[in-house]
Amino acid sequence: HWGKQELPRLKLIWKNWVLPKVKFFHWLANMDRCWTADRLQRRGLQHHPRCLLCDQEPETIHHLLVSCTFSRQVRHDTLSWL
Protein backbone atom coordinates (compact mmCIF):
# COMPACT_ATOMS: atom_id res chain seq x y z
CA HIS A 1 0.00 0.00 0.00
CA TRP A 2 1.00 3.60 -0.43
CA GLY A 3 2.95 5.54 2.15
CA LYS A 4 2.00 9.06 3.16
CA GLN A 5 4.90 10.46 1.13
CA GLU A 6 3.70 8.80 -2.09
CA LEU A 7 0.08 10.00 -2.02
CA PRO A 8 0.75 13.67 -2.92
CA ARG A 9 3.07 12.59 -5.74
CA LEU A 10 0.48 10.18 -7.14
CA LYS A 11 -2.29 12.77 -6.85
CA LEU A 12 -0.21 15.19 -8.94
CA ILE A 13 -0.25 12.73 -11.82
CA TRP A 14 -4.00 13.15 -12.25
CA LYS A 15 -3.93 16.96 -11.93
CA ASN A 16 -1.64 17.49 -14.95
CA TRP A 17 -2.86 18.86 -18.26
CA VAL A 18 -1.57 15.94 -20.30
CA LEU A 19 -3.45 13.30 -22.27
CA PRO A 20 -5.24 10.70 -20.12
CA LYS A 21 -3.16 7.89 -21.63
CA VAL A 22 0.04 9.71 -20.54
CA LYS A 23 -1.36 10.10 -17.01
CA PHE A 24 -2.27 6.41 -16.96
CA PHE A 25 1.20 5.34 -18.12
CA HIS A 26 2.83 7.59 -15.52
CA TRP A 27 0.63 6.07 -12.82
CA LEU A 28 1.46 2.53 -14.02
CA ALA A 29 5.19 3.32 -13.96
CA ASN A 30 4.98 4.79 -10.44
CA MET A 31 3.08 1.76 -9.21
CA ASP A 32 5.59 -0.63 -10.88
CA ARG A 33 2.79 -2.14 -12.99
CA CYS A 34 4.42 -1.95 -16.44
CA TRP A 35 5.15 -5.30 -18.05
CA THR A 36 8.92 -5.06 -18.08
CA ALA A 37 11.25 -8.08 -17.90
CA ASP A 38 11.62 -7.83 -14.13
CA ARG A 39 7.85 -7.96 -13.66
CA LEU A 40 7.51 -10.84 -16.11
CA GLN A 41 10.20 -12.72 -14.19
CA ARG A 42 8.34 -12.20 -10.90
CA ARG A 43 5.28 -13.78 -12.53
CA GLY A 44 7.25 -16.71 -13.91
CA LEU A 45 6.68 -15.64 -17.53
CA GLN A 46 9.17 -15.76 -20.39
CA HIS A 47 11.27 -12.65 -20.90
CA HIS A 48 14.55 -11.42 -22.34
CA PRO A 49 17.18 -11.13 -19.62
CA ARG A 50 18.46 -7.74 -20.78
CA CYS A 51 17.00 -4.50 -22.12
CA LEU A 52 16.12 -4.94 -25.79
CA LEU A 53 17.01 -1.31 -26.53
CA CYS A 54 20.57 -1.20 -25.19
CA ASP A 55 21.43 -4.78 -24.15
CA GLN A 56 23.40 -3.39 -21.18
CA GLU A 57 21.26 -3.94 -18.08
CA PRO A 58 18.21 -5.92 -16.93
CA GLU A 59 14.98 -4.35 -18.12
CA THR A 60 13.17 -2.51 -15.34
CA ILE A 61 10.88 0.50 -15.56
CA HIS A 62 13.56 2.63 -13.88
CA HIS A 63 16.13 1.48 -16.42
CA LEU A 64 13.85 2.15 -19.40
CA LEU A 65 12.79 5.62 -18.25
CA VAL A 66 15.99 6.85 -16.58
CA SER A 67 19.23 5.00 -17.23
CA CYS A 68 18.90 3.23 -20.61
CA THR A 69 21.43 4.78 -23.00
CA PHE A 70 19.03 4.41 -25.95
CA SER A 71 16.16 6.08 -24.08
CA ARG A 72 18.44 8.89 -22.91
CA GLN A 73 19.59 9.48 -26.49
CA VAL A 74 15.99 9.58 -27.74
CA ARG A 75 15.10 12.09 -25.00
CA HIS A 76 18.13 14.21 -25.85
CA ASP A 77 17.39 14.17 -29.59
CA THR A 78 13.72 15.00 -28.99
CA LEU A 79 14.51 17.90 -26.69
CA SER A 80 17.14 19.20 -29.12
CA TRP A 81 14.60 19.06 -31.92
CA LEU A 82 12.00 20.93 -29.85
Tell me: the pLDDT tens digits for 51-77?
A: 999 999 999 999 999 999 999 999 999
In a domain, 3, yes or no: no
Question: How many CB atoms within 10 Å of residue 24?
Answer: 12
Does residue 6 carry a pLDDT above 90? no
- When divided into structural domains, the chain yields a total of 1
Burial state string for 45-60 with b = 16 or more CB within 10 A and e = fewer than 16: eebeeebeebeeeebb
The span from the CA of 42 to the CA of 40, in Å, is 5
Percentage above 70 pLDDT, the chain: 88
In which domain, by residue range, is 35 found?
8-81
This prediction's pTM: 0.74
Asked if 37 and 60 touch (Cβ cutoff 8 Å), the reply is yes
In a domain, 26, yes or no: yes
18 vs 69 pLDDT, higher one? 69
In a domain, 60, yes or no: yes
71 vs 16 pLDDT, higher one? 71
Asked if 32 and 26 touch (Cβ cutoff 8 Å), the reply is no
